[in-house]
Amino acid sequence: MGGETITNCKINISPVFMKNTIHLLCFLLFSITAFGQSPASGIAIIPQPVSIIKDTGHFILPKSVVIQAANSPELAHTVAFLRERLSEPTGYRVISVTSSSNPTIKLQLNTQSDARLGTEGYSLSVTASHVVIKANKAAGLFYGVQSFIQLFPEEIESKVQVNRSNWTIPVAEIIDYPKLGWRGLMFDVARHFFTKDEVKQYIDVMARYKYNLLHLHLTDDEGWRIEIKGLPKLTEVGAWRVNRTGTFGNFIPATPDEPRDYGGYYTQEDIKELIKYAKDRFVDIMPEIDVPGHSLAAVASYPDLSCTPEAINYKPRFGEQIMDWSGGAPPKALIDNTLCPANEKVYSFMDTVITQIAQLFPFEYIHLGGDEAPINYWQSNDQVKALMVREGMKDIKDVQGYFTKRVEKIVESKGKKMMAWDEVLEGGVSQSTAVMSWRGMKYGIEAAHNKHQVVMSPTTYAYLDYMQSDVISEPRVYASLRLNKSYEFEPVPDGVDPQYIKGGQGNLWTEQIYNIRQAEYMTWPRGFAIAESVWSPKAKKNWPHFFARVESHFKRFDLAETKYAPSVYDPIFKATKTADNRLKIELSTEVPGLSIHYSFDNSFPDKFYPKYTTPLTAPVDASQFKLITYKDGKPVGRMLTMPISELKARARF
Ligand code: ACM
């Protein structure tokens, strides 16, 4: 059974009730859950734990809380976090000690390893009088604390004191450990720059959902975001661009004297601070230097890195069109945004960059990009043609393979492993390079069959830059990915040897994301779905049950002042043309239990307006279809305005 993981439904009940009655009650609890009401047990942990045994009774948080934990640097943040969460909203006194005869909450590292829990698992035992969290390693205690906090009422997330008569959680025993070791989110800080504090804010939230890997996309056409000593222009020139706002991709050309003062970069000290901040929350940071394509910021800084002489006039991109995708992949570059694979200076540049990246980042992998490298400039370049003759290369695709293999050698010479986007499989790459599968799952499957380590981050389930509902209510991006589709993400496909699948990851590209609030909006709630896909056992996944928990976490985010998208409440439109040339509109929803109220008369509907039940025929003169979604008598969706002209275009009028 998917859904709520109550492996053993214990209910204290008068002996006159038959055992069958108890079973019936358990069944009813499960049934309510399965229909998407609030989780039957009141437990709404994301990601869903491996096992929850709920008993009767409650633990009531005392007004003076004693946390017992060893005085160790790797536990310091976990204890500080727990103290803050338990004191800030409650106003209670919360102290931590290294030993106590009667602690309220005990965080305990196992002296004898519990084989079930591995390095990140935990057990959480809540009795009526106290709480014990045990783990083999500090990471497990951190995750146990996250689950413990999620057992409390949503107000536990409040930043200000909340008046409640008490703070209780159900008595329960939880055993939990992750399905996969790589549970990642990629944050593109190149297209738009996000400050060190904003990256910390992003880490704070992801760590709470048991993500353990932040992939920082540090370089792209729009910006180079990391200080490299000896290459000052990367950050003097490459980190700054023209500031434009609106719909990225088609901005009008910049004027020659337009200020290029929008952007920023991280100093090496900033990077060390971020790595430490992430590590305290059991998150590793993997850097990405995206080469040989997506390199306009580097080329604008050091035009010698290009095969194209006009590169001396190049500037970091600000959102104007530089690629023509009309012929499919690889794109045709309108300006040459590649590093020149036939230029030895490029390899000494890469050596300098990778040496410093390898020294700065303790994580074992460095991501070297490899995606979407255009070949049209290489095809007509004499240096590249000479390289092909010299190396006996027949196909232009082999040129990227040549580049990748040389970069791979540099990475390995620094004691690191290389990871790259799945395009690198095309030019050939050695088995030690790990592949990040983004163009669907198929390249990841192919790579795993060829014994590469693989991280699945497919557009189909995990692209967090895609729209979350209809284009009328979301910033326009070329594709959409609804929450229920993200929730279908299964990083370990059938028929693939799981030892080659390191894990899964959501990718947040930021061309259209101008600020941290929007970064949060795009990440959540799909980040919940991906977290559950990489942490929870496949058999425990259950969409209605998940969504009931998501709604509890929406309330948590409201109180924590973290943004999320309410797009899941937006209806799905289907427009068709009837035989008598009228517009037929059909609506559906991702989640059960919603009622949609609408108008065609340009006024704003509420729950007293007609409720959608069957397909509608638009009145002949209507120009707008306005809608709002209610659940349990309360508005949950946004007020949407769908132009009739848009529906007619979709119906091919
Ligand atoms: C990618 O989305 N170009 C990896």
Distance from Cα 154 to the centre of ligand 1, integer Å: 36
Using most ligand atoms within 8 A of CB, pick from 323, 371, 419, 456 the residue to mutate for ligand 1: 371
CA distance 508 to 464: 5
Distance from Cα 241 to the centre of ligand 1, integer Å: 22
Whose CA is closest to atom 3 on ligand 1? 371
Helices and strands (DSSP H and E) totals, the chain: 19, 28
Distance from Cα 132 to the centre of ligand 1, integer Å: 43
Report pLDDT digits (tens) over 46-85.
999 999 999 999 999 999 999 999 999 999 999 999 999 9
Distance from Cα 622 to the centre of ligand 1, integer Å: 41
For the stretch 432-435, contacts whose Cβ atoms lie closer than 8 Å and that sit 24 or more positions apart, written own/partner, are: 432/408, 433/404, 433/408, 434/365, 434/502
Report pLDDT digits (tens) over 442-471.
999 999 999 999 999 999 999 999 999 999
Distance from Cα 483 to the centre of ligand 1, integer Å: 20
Nearest ligand 1 atom to the CA of 436 is 4
Asked if the bond preceding 292 is cis, omega within 30° of 0, the reply is yes
Nearest ligand 1 atom to the CA of 459 is 2
Q: Which residues contact 303 (CB under 8 A, 6 or more apart)?
A: 311, 312, 314
Q: What's the CA angle centered on 430, arms 424 and 434, to 5 degrees?
A: 65
Using most ligand atoms within 8 A of CB, pick from 372, 424, 435 the residue to mutate for ligand 1: 372
For the stretch 637-641, contacts whose Cβ atoms lie closer than 8 Å and that sit 24 or more positions apart, written own/partner, are: 637/566, 637/569, 637/570, 637/571, 637/594, 637/596, 638/473, 638/566, 638/569, 638/570, 639/604, 639/605, 640/470, 640/472, 640/473, 640/570, 640/571, 641/472
pLDDT of residue 30: 38
Pairing label, strands 365-369, 417-421: parallel
Contact 339/299 with Cβ under 8 angstroms?
Answer: yes
Backbone angles phi, psi at 493, to 5 degrees: -70, 155
Distance from Cα 289 to the centre of ligand 1, integer Å: 13
- Region(s) of the chain under CATH 3.30.379.10: 19-176
- Region(s) of the chain under CATH 2.60.40: 570-650
Contact 175/49 with Cβ under 8 angstroms?
Answer: yes
Whose CA is closest to atom 2 on ligand 1? 438
CA distance 441 to 456: 7
- 467-497 burial: b if 16+ Cβ within 10 Å, else e: bbbbebbbbebeeebbbebbbebebbeeebe
Distance from Cα 66 to the centre of ligand 1, integer Å: 48
Report pLDDT digits (tens) over 220-274.
999 999 999 999 999 999 999 999 999 888 899 999 899 999 999 999 999 999 9
Pocket lining for ligand 1, CB < 6 angstroms: 371-372, 421, 438
Nearest ligand 1 atom to the CA of 463 is 2
Q: Token digits for 603?
A: 């006024």
Distance from Cα 294 to the centre of ligand 1, integer Å: 10
Distance from Cα 164 to the centre of ligand 1, integer Å: 48
For the purposes of burial, counting CB atoms within 10 Å of the CB of 320, is it exposed (0-12), middle (13-18) or buried (19 or more)?
A: middle
Nearest ligand 1 atom to the CA of 438 is 4
Nearest ligand 1 atom to the CA of 509 is 2
Segment holding 430, helix H or strand E? none
* Total residue count of the chain as it appears in this document: 653
Distance from Cα 554 to the centre of ligand 1, integer Å: 29
Nearest ligand 1 atom to the CA of 372 is 3
CA distance 254 to 260: 10
Distance from Cα 200 to the centre of ligand 1, integer Å: 24
Q: Which residues contact 374 (CB under 8 A, 6 or more apart)?
A: 293, 323, 330, 331, 332, 333, 336, 337, 338
Q: Which residues contact 274 (CB under 8 A, 6 or more apart)?
A: 196, 199, 200, 203, 266, 285
Contact 618/600 with Cβ under 8 angstroms?
Answer: yes
pLDDT of residue 39: 64
- Residue 181's SS3 state is coil
Whose CA is closest to atom 1 on ligand 1? 371
Nearest ligand 1 atom to the CA of 294 is 3
Distance from Cα 369 to the centre of ligand 1, integer Å: 8
Query: For domain 19-176, is the CATH number 3.30.1650.10?
Result: no
| Residue for token pair 């095809």 | 379
- Residue 396's SS3 state is coil
Q: How far is CA 155 from the centre of its chain?
A: 24
pLDDT of residue 40: 59
Domain 182-535 in CATH: superfamily? Glycosidases (3.20.20.80)
Q: Which residues contact 177 (CB under 8 A, 6 or more apart)?
A: 50, 116, 117, 118, 120, 121, 122, 140
Q: Token digits for 111?
A: 């002296």
- Residue 287, strand partner residues: 216
Q: Which stretches of the chain score pLDDT less than 50?
A: 1-38
Pairing label, strands 51-60, 168-176: antiparallel
Using most ligand atoms within 8 A of CB, pick from 438, 460, 505 the residue to mutate for ligand 1: 438
Distance from Cα 138 to the centre of ligand 1, integer Å: 34
Count of CA atoms in the C-beta half-sphere (13 A) of 159: 6
Nearest ligand 1 atom to the CA of 369 is 4
- Region(s) of the chain under CATH 3.20.20.80: 182-535
Distance from Cα 428 to the centre of ligand 1, integer Å: 18
Using most ligand atoms within 8 A of CB, pick from 289, 509, 510, 511 the residue to mutate for ligand 1: 509
The CATH class that applies to domain 570-650 reads mainly beta
- Residue 266, strand partner residues: 226
Report pLDDT digits (tens) over 417-432.
999 999 999 988 999 9
Nearest ligand 1 atom to the CA of 507 is 2
Q: Token digits for 254?
A: 């910049």
- Among residues 465, 461, 491, the alpha carbon closest in space to that of 477 is found at 465
Using most ligand atoms within 8 A of CB, pick from 186, 290, 421 the residue to mutate for ligand 1: 421
